[in-house]
Amino acid sequence: MGKTTEKSGNDTRGRTSRLRFPSWGSWGSQGWGSQPNTDAAADNQWNWPGRVIRPGTDIHTLIMEMILDGAHASIGPKRERTTAQTIADRLATIDAGREPWIATRVASDMLLTAMNSLYEHGWQPLDTIHVVKRAHANAVTDLAIVTVLHHAAMHDAENRAPLSWVEQLHNIAEIKPDLATATRAAATHNPANKPFLLALDKPAPLQTDWKAVLALLGQWHDLPVWPKICPTPSQWPEKRTDAAPRTQSSAPVDARVLNRVRGLLAKAEATTFTNEAEAFTAKAQELMTRYAIDAALLNSGNAFADVHSARIHIDSPYSKAKVHLLHEISLANRVRVVWDADYAIATAVGTPVELRQVEMLYTSTLVQATHAMTAVGEINDDPTTRTASFRRAFLFAYAVRVGQRLQEVGEHTTAREAQRNRRDGKKLLPILAAQNEAVNAAFERLFPQTEKQTAAPMDARGWIAGKVAADQAVLSPVGAGIEAR
């Protein structure tokens, strides 16, 4: 039993084309100088495993190369982790909590340079945090958050970046509010001119977590080139000209509509009655479908349909089953999705209204599916209902069936709206067809090569239980207490 979903091919994602940072020399001209010091370079304290120091190598270049060697070793085989730890210890010895913190200054600049490179090669703030959280402990994640937020402060992202970028920065700040506050304060007030890796610490002696620095640089350095779906920092204006720098056809989704949808989905998540939960979800689907149709009619006079892209991060466990839920919801809302299994990140392509609809429905139905799956395990004495294979199959089946039922609601709503518009002399279906063509064209441009990903054989009992749980729902736009249009 199983379903298929689009997955990006190697050529599309640039998996064979790794990011490469600038040459060592470009890192030495960031304002703090690069003076040769052959005496220090010749001293034994600068030696580290696997390296022979070139005569005349200045300290800054030596430290850069040492950090890069440690970064590569930190994500290599287990035997290379010892090398990474040795290099981390040597770097700590170089600084030893003393000014001018030369090694930490070099590392701080390299992290910000890495940030620039990632952004210019298609990555966005939440993407960089997501891949780190999946692979590393809290110390590395905290360092990634600090680096992203410090980079944003240095580039005045709050006033220059696209609003979707700013929203991501706000979401990152919410992960560690205290850390975000300290980072912003250090970026705007640093009279001692400490490197940003130390500006957050108040007590002396100041020490850098070198193991985390090397792990983070190693992780980021290994990331591939991705399609650009948003203007990068080098393309930002000096200041946004208005609150929402979008074309007329991509005006923000009406906040009143979003609030009503969020309210319906919150009720769906809160109720313990499956039928009621699905009725609220269906009403949210109907409401957003009508709004998307209204937006399509409003923008039908524009020469080009407005198509955007958004990335959605899939958390473990059961990431493949969860991305199938996203895929099914997208099908019901005329959105194309491609899935990158290596980094558990999906890219959705569609109109702004429908992208927002997919994101909200995915978040809410995932909560509902998890509640239903957990309930099966709690009320059933059979321990197999709590196994990974059972739950994976449950989520796959739930995703397929709920997707089908959401599609039924969407098709019913679209047919009704088409009939209503015919009475008003408007032809809805050709407009939606043109919109679909624009979405497909944008998708093919971003991802010219994709492959179908087929689910492996699954636990039959889990599949049946998931389908039954979805079938028990009454997915129709009715229900007591639901607000009508």
Residue 122 in any domain: the answer is yes
Task: With H, G, I as helix, E, B as strand and everything else as coil, classify residue 370.
Answer: helix
Q: Which of these ranges, 5-14, 25-34, 420-429, has the smallest mean pLDDT?
A: 25-34
Q: Are 353 and 363 in contact (CB under 8 A)?
A: no
Ramachandran class of 390: left when φ > 0, alpha when ψ lies in -120 to 50, beta otherwise: alpha
The torsion angles phi and psi of 203, rounded to 5 degrees, stand at: -75, 150
Q: 156 and 71 in one domain?
A: yes
Last residue of a domain, one of 173, 208, 223: 223
Q: Average pLDDT, stretch 297-319? A: 81
The residue with tokens 């692979």 is: 135
Q: Are 454 and 387 in contact (CB under 8 A)?
A: no
Kind and range of the H or E run holding 121: none
Residue 4 in any domain: the answer is no
**For residue 455, what pLDDT is reported?**
58
Q: How many domains does the chain have?
A: 2
The pair of structure tokens assigned to 96 is 């030893």
Band of pLDDT at residue 473, cut at 50, 70 and 90: very low
The residue with tokens 């004495």 is: 381
Q: 214 and 330 in one domain?
A: no
Rounded to 10 degrees, what is the CA torsion of 395, 397, 399, 400?
Answer: 160
Residue 419 in any domain: the answer is yes
Q: What is the DSSP letter of 206?
A: P
Q: Which strands, in side-by-side order, build the sheet including 4-8?
A: 308-313, 345-350, 336-340, 4-8, 450-454
Q: What percent of the chain has pLDDT over 70?
A: 76
Residue 484 in any domain: the answer is no
* Residue 35 reports pLDDT greater than 50: no
The pair of structure tokens assigned to 178 is 């205290």
Q: Average pLDDT, stretch 115-141? A: 95
Instruction: Read off the amino acid at residue 321.
Output: A
Residue 354 in any domain: the answer is yes
Q: 460 and 320 in one domain?
A: yes
Alpha-carbon distances of 44 from 52, 157, 161, 372, rounded to whole Å: 11, 43, 46, 63
* Residue 86 reports pLDDT greater than 80: yes
Q: What is the pLDDT of residues 393-407, one digit of tens each?
A: 889 888 888 888 888
**For residue 279, what pLDDT is reported?**
82
Residue 1 in any domain: the answer is no
Q: What is the pLDDT of residues 174-194, one digit of tens each?
A: 999 999 999 999 998 888 888
Ramachandran class of 480: left when φ > 0, alpha when ψ lies in -120 to 50, beta otherwise: beta
Kind and range of the H or E run holding 189: none
Q: 142 and 210 in one domain?
A: yes
Cis peptide before 195 (omega within 30 of 0): no
The pair of structure tokens assigned to 290 is 């009508």
* Residue 352 reports pLDDT greater than 80: yes
* Higher pLDDT, residue 150 or 301: 150
Last residue of a domain, one of 206, 223, 240: 223
Alpha-carbon distances of 452 from 4, 5, 439, rounded to whole Å: 6, 5, 19
| Contact residues for 78 (Cβ-Cβ < 8 A; gap 6+) | none
The pair of structure tokens assigned to 227 is 């399609």
Residue 476 in any domain: the answer is no
Residue 315 in any domain: the answer is yes
Q: What is the pLDDT of residues 226-237, one digit of tens each?
A: 999 999 999 999
Q: 254 and 115 in one domain?
A: no
Q: 293 and 199 in one domain?
A: no
Q: 310 and 161 in one domain?
A: no
Of 252, 397, 406, the closest CA to residue 330 belongs to 406
Count of residues for the chain? 485
Enclosing domain of residue 133: 18-223
**For residue 474, what pLDDT is reported?**
34
Q: What is the pLDDT of residues 263-291, one digit of tens each?
A: 888 888 888 777 788 788 888 788 877 88
Q: 254 and 219 in one domain?
A: no
Q: 31 and 121 in one domain?
A: yes
Average pLDDT, the chain: 79
Of 34, 33, 28, 53, the closest CA to residue 43 belongs to 53
Rounded-to-5 percentages of helix, strand, coil across the chain: 60, 5, 30
Q: 282 and 182 in one domain?
A: no
Rounded to 10 degrees, what is the CA torsion of 175, 141, 324, 399?
Answer: -40
Q: pTM for this one?
A: 0.79
Q: 324 and 267 in one domain?
A: yes
Q: What percent of the chain has pLDDT over 90?
A: 40
Q: 311 and 186 in one domain?
A: no
Measured between alpha carbons, how far is 348 from 362 in angstroms, rounded to an integer?
A: 12
**For residue 465, what pLDDT is reported?**
58
Q: Average pLDDT, stretch 411-433? A: 83
